[in-house]
Amino acid sequence: MAKDTTGRLHVTVKSGGKRKLSSKLWLERQLNDPYVTQAKRDGFRSRAAYKLQEIDDKHRFLKRGQVVVDLGAAPGGWSQIAAKRVGSAEGKDNGRGKVVAIDLLEMPELPGVTFAQMDFLDEHAPDKLRAMIGGGADVVMSDMAANTTGHRKTDQLRIIGLVENAAAFACEILNPGGTFLAKVFQSGAEADLLAQLKRDFATVKHVKPAASRQDSSERYVLALGFRGTNTASA
Ligand SMILES: C[S@@+](CC[C@H](N)C(=O)[O-])C[C@H]1O[C@@H](n2cnc3c(N)ncnc32)[C@H](O)[C@@H]1O
């Protein structure tokens, strides 16, 4: 085991045998990632929890008693942070909020989180979600990431398709003043989406939390202060 430039121990995984180079690199990255170690220590399901924690520490949109929708929630790091901050993870009922989460994958139960396994792009998903939410929402957040095909144009279209659908759903369901947070990638393909969000929200910005790997093009769009009126609670 050697030390890296910051003085931390660096684990190297042997290649060869049945292990492919990509698995070796993935394993090495996991083993040497301080957020992965910290997540285990703090009892979070994923290192992604720190991304939401950091974005909310700075912009303070998750508040006690709110209704939050988590799209692409598995394994559950963001839901854990949201449930803690809105109060739904607590046992008592006074003023506690609600977290509604979905994912393509199964997600083991989390206190204060109502989960359903479904494809957000399925035509029936918005209706099912509306029924789970049972009114308007205060925050719609999406960390959804489509599996990549390796074909750049196709991958960009898939990513932007997910974000656009999430934004359209947010505009249907958000209460006035609500927040939309979604993963985008630095592709330049989302100009139309940003223009639309700027019409519907008071503030729109890109954020890249420290927990988001610096070598990845991942970033988030954060839209605060929904100006519209939802149709869900009307
Ligand atoms: C980066 S992970 C989310 C991590 C999560 N925020 C956390 O904190 O643990 C992205 C998730 O998006 C989900 N996903 C991708 N496309 C989806 C879709 N069409 N519908 C629902 N979930 C989707 C994937 O299954 C995956 O679990």
Segment holding 24, helix H or strand E: helix 21-31
Quick one: tokens of 103?
């994912």
* Residue ranges with strand state E in 123-189: 137-142, 174-185
Of 52, 104, 165, the residue with max ligand 1 atoms within 8 A of its CB, to mutate for a pocket test, comes to 104
For the ranges 57-66, 114-123, 222-231, the lowest mean pLDDT is seen at 222-231
Ligand 1 neighbourhood includes 141 CB (under 6 angstroms): no
Active site residue 84: no
Ligand 1 neighbourhood includes 142 CB (under 6 angstroms): no
Ligand 1 center from residue 70 Cα (angstroms): 9
**Of the candidates 182, 200, 67, the residue with the CA atom closest to the CA atom of residue 136:** 67
**Of the candidates 221, 151, 154, the residue with the CA atom closest to the CA atom of residue 186:** 221
Helices (H) and strands (E) in the chain, counts: 7, 9
Ligand 1 neighbourhood includes 181 CB (under 6 angstroms): no
Of 50, 144, 213, the residue with max ligand 1 atoms within 8 A of its CB, to mutate for a pocket test, comes to 144
From 14, 40, 98, 183, the catalytic residue: 183
Do the beta carbons of residue 170 and residue 136 sit within 8 Å? Answer: no
What tens digit of pLDDT does each residue of 77-102 get?
A: 999 999 999 999 987 666 789 999 99
Ligand 1 neighbourhood includes 48 CB (under 6 angstroms): yes
Residues 48-52: what's their mean pLDDT?
97
pLDDT at 23 over 90: no
Ligand 1 neighbourhood includes 44 CB (under 6 angstroms): no
For the ranges 3-12, 43-52, 196-205, 212-221, the lowest mean pLDDT is seen at 3-12
pLDDT, position 99: 97
Do the beta carbons of residue 97 and residue 154 sit within 8 Å? Answer: no
Separation CA 26–CA 22 (nearest Å): 6
Answer with the residue of higher pLDDT: 146 or 139: 139
pLDDT at 32 over 90: no
Nearest CA to ligand 1 atom 26: 72
What tens digit of pLDDT does each residue of 159-214 get?
A: 889 999 999 999 999 999 999 999 998 766 678 899 999 999 999 999 999 999 88
Separation CA 120–CA 102 (nearest Å): 8
Ligand 1 neighbourhood includes 145 CB (under 6 angstroms): yes
Segment holding 218, helix H or strand E: strand 218-226
Separation CA 14–CA 156 (nearest Å): 34
Ligand 1 nearest-atom number relative to CA 105: 25
Ligand 1 center from residue 147 Cα (angstroms): 10
Do the beta carbons of residue 147 and residue 132 sit within 8 Å? Answer: no
Q: Distances in Å between the alpha carbon of 45 and those of 27, 76, 134, 191? A: 17, 6, 27, 33
Ligand 1 neighbourhood includes 78 CB (under 6 angstroms): yes
Question: How many other CB atoms are there within 10 angstroms of residue 159's CB atom?
Answer: 20
Check residue 29 and give left, alpha or beta (phi > 0: left; psi -120 to 50: alpha): alpha
